[in-house]
Structure 1
Amino acid sequence: MSQPRLHVAMMIQAYLPLLGGAERQLAALAPLLKNQGVDVSVITRRYPGLKKFELIDGVPVYRLPVPGPKSVASLAFSLAALPLLGRLRPDVIHAHELLSPTTTAVTAKRRLGIPVVAKVLRGGALGDLAKLEHKPFGRQRMQTFKQQVDSFIVISQEIDAELAAWGVAPEKRVFIPNGVDTQRFAPMRLPEKERLRQELGLGEGETAVYAGRLVPEKCVDQLIGLWPQIREIYSRAQLLVLGTGPEEKRLKQLAGEGIHFLGNVADVAPYLQAADLFILPSATEGLSNAMLEALAAGLPVIATRVGGAPDIITHQKSGWLVAPQQPDEWLEAILTLFALAEKRRDLGSQGRQKVVASYGLAATAEKLVGLYGRITTATPRPVTVQT
């Protein structure tokens, strides 16, 4: 006898076509979850120009209005989400981030009896827990989350330690890292790589890639500031910036020769396969999807020692770790790896092996399905629903 299908409502601040790491991870997981008996609905905020409802790759996406000033946006979102959840009656609410999504999910659990999974997206000084602590009634909200959230999804040791410091019980902290499609993101042989570089118009210069949102905490401005020094030694060196965000205009004003802004790129795989180096200069991270994709593509990675990077990268073996907010250290790493092609190949090979072994997308989906099954079994639903 086949198992009944589960319905999971994903609560997330934004969703496709808006691109960020959390959005891309969810979009990649949705079809795999469906194949394993989990139907997904997405509940998110409605931003200008986007429809109230649409199907994206077969996934129902509900966008709720958040009128008024930013200070009341979370309340407006919750007030709109609760009746929708009452109609949808999902088996699980999966909140992505500890702020508005988890607040709404916990409120829905109290009213509707639906179990809640909360994924902590970022750690560190600018992470979910740090932000929550500085929000109105933040500490009280966290105490409520500790009681009401059935499972917290942990994506890095840093986040696990932060939750432990808040007193979240070990049995509620479940390690399920982000995953990557290791078949789609895979290395190319050298002749194919050279052909791809020509197709992308990259020329013969040393090529580094940054992929991600253009927001202050990513520190792309500091990376751009290094490029004149790099081009003094490697005159054709180029930095490809993939992504958009509120910092884009300012960053373009800072950029000199060799910096190319490519905007939102639907398929970043060819750029990762064609480049020589991937750089992630963030001050704070959770577990960067862009970094996972670069590692899977066999691209050597320079990443700051924050978030999940130290969990994956062994320094100078499967990547290159540098201190955050220390551009001089980044400069040394970039110049070193531009000079050592064999070292780049070794780092890329070891990095891919690590990701294939422990961070495959299919394994992440399988772990989520198992978690949903456990908490729905452990949390009986009420017979009567209050609306």
Structure 2
Amino acid sequence: MVGIGISTTTGIATVVKNWLATDFPDRVSLRYLSTQRAAVPGAYFAKFVDGCFAFARLVFMFLGRLILLKGRWDVMHVHQSSWMSFWRKQPIWHFGALCARRRVVHLHGSEFKDFYASTSGLRRRLIQRFFERSDANFVLSKEWAEWVEGICRRPTRIDIVYNAALRQKMPDRRGRPTVTFALMGRMGERKGVFDLLEAFKKMAGNYPSARLILAGDGEVEKVRSLVAAAGLEDKVEVPGWVSGADAESVFERADVYCLPSYNEGLPGSILEAMAVGLPVISTPVGGILEAVQHESNGLIVEPGDIAALADGLVRLAADVELREAMGEASYALFEKKFDLDAIVEQVVGIYETLFHSAA
């Protein structure tokens, strides 16, 4: 399996760590090859060096298998993002045709459509062939499946493999003196953090009990400065990146989860919110509509529509019964579609199908 270092705070790392928390490692003989040690914006030379070392490690690992007469790996599973991440993994993917019987591409990059649109000619054809020549392409939603199918010139196998989360116990949120909205992710424009803060400013004056938690890495200091400039330090928390028990605490304290993103794959944070029974306010981008059903387990607003976002905050702040009903719907939908054990079972089943077809 190939991907970014699992110690990073990326979506791919979260997916892999979730799988490793199940019986997945007991059911497959797994070697994980990290192509990037740290998720740092920029640092292109360091990432290039990481990619070169990863390719060298792969070659030596394969030579070791040949010396021990173990032959090729059964499956190479490549977790794929966009931009430089795509090109950095190309040598590994091409070498996979030699060292593995089957190759699986797992598309995560929320900006992959923008990346593809920025290319032309040979580079665009290389991207198309990347999907066409893979033995299976894992995508995060029906919308992404249709997109991959649309750019390919010949039929290719596409499997919808949802992101998933660990099932949690729903906390009792009744009788709380405050209504807390939360967002967890990279602080910046893409996740709609600034839009959410602006929408919260519009409604906070009329709802003294409203609170907001903005947790994540990225432009943390900029967000804190905006909170201070708006005089909202007593209502808005910006703790920076949280994980483990601290992340669980954010979800436990929250009454509504918000992620007004401009582009996404299928955000793991939304699934984690659903796993604890939170209603969700989000946008119709990427695979979000398969997790958030408007007026059922949450509200959908268009990206950048701050007025509609503020209206959604007001509506859920004012109606505790609606919050509870949507939260219960979130939990039920999570159990039906995004339970981690079911997703792992699906992935192992696909591996077995590919293995038998290669025999």
TM-score bucket (shorter structure) = 0.7 to 0.9
Distance 2:44 2:170 in 1: 48
Give 5+ residue unaligned stretches, structure 2. Answer: 66-71
Indicate which of 186, 200, 205 corresponds to 1:227. 200
Q: Residues 60-106 of structure 1, C-alpha deviation per residue, up to 9 Å, x if partnerless?
A: xxxxxx99737955863564354245246543221111514652442
User: How far 1:40 moved relative to its partner?
Assistant: 2.7
Distance 1:308 1:67 in 2: 29
Distance 1:167 1:189, change over 3 A: same
Secondary structure in 1 matching 2:34: strand
CA contact (8 A) 2:76 2:100 kept: no
Please name the residue that 2:34 is paired with.
Answer: 44
Aligned to 1:13: 4
Give 1:152-167 correspondences, 5 Å limit. 152-167=137-152
Task: Give 1:205's aligned residue.
Answer: 178
Which of these residues, 74, 77, 84, is aligned with residue 94 of structure 1? Answer: 77
1:321, CA displacement in angstroms?
Answer: 1.0
Q: How does 1:195-274 map to 2 (within 5 A)?
A: 204-245=177-218, 247-256=219-228, 257=232, 258-267=235-244, 268-274=247-253
Structure 1 position 128 matched with structure 2 position 112: yes
Q: Is the 8 A contact 1:177 1:364 kept in 2?
A: yes
**Aligned residue number for residue 311 of structure 1:** 290
In structure 2, how many angstroms separate the alpha carbons of the residues matched to 1:357 and 1:223? 29
User: Which residue does the alignment assign to 1:199?
Assistant: none
> Structure 1: 5+ residue runs without aligned partners?
1-8, 51-65, 195-203, 381-387
Greater Cα offset, 102-111 or 153-162: 102-111
Q: CA deviation at 1:300?
A: 0.9
Per the TM alignment, residue 354 of structure 1 is displaced from its structure 2 partner at its CA by 0.7
1:80 and 2:34 equivalent? Answer: no
| 1:366 Cα deviation from its structure 2 partner | 0.4
Asked whether the equivalents of residues 21 and 212 of structure 1 are also in contact (C-alpha less than 8 Å), the reply is no
The answer on whether the counterparts of 1:67 and 1:76 sit within 8 Å (CA) in structure 2 is: no
Segments ≥4 residues shifted beyond 4 Å: 70-75, 168-171
One-letter amino acid matched to 1:83: V
Total equivalences in the alignment: 339
Q: Which residue of 1 aligns with 2:128?
A: 143
TM-align CA RMSD: 2.8
Write the letter of the residue equivalent to 2:12. Answer: A
**1:249–1:34 Cα change, 3 Å:** same
Task: State the shift of 1:34 in Å.
Answer: 3.4
Deviation at 1:49, TM superposition (A): 12
Cα pair 1:273 1:299 within 8 Å, conserved: no
* Shift, 1:276, TM fit: 1.2
Indicate how the Cα distance of structure 1 residues 77 and 39 shifts in structure 2: closer, same or farther if over 3 A, else same: same
How far apart are residue 324 of structure 1 and its match? 1.1
Instruction: Write out per-residue CA displacement over residues 269-298 of structure 1, whole angstroms, 9 at most, x where no aligned residue.
Output: 232122111001110111111101111211
CA contact (8 A) 1:106 1:148 kept: no
User: Identity of paired residues, percent?
Assistant: 21
Give 1:43 shift: 1.8
Give me the whole-angstrom Cα distance separating, in 2, the residues matched to 1:145 and 1:272.
38
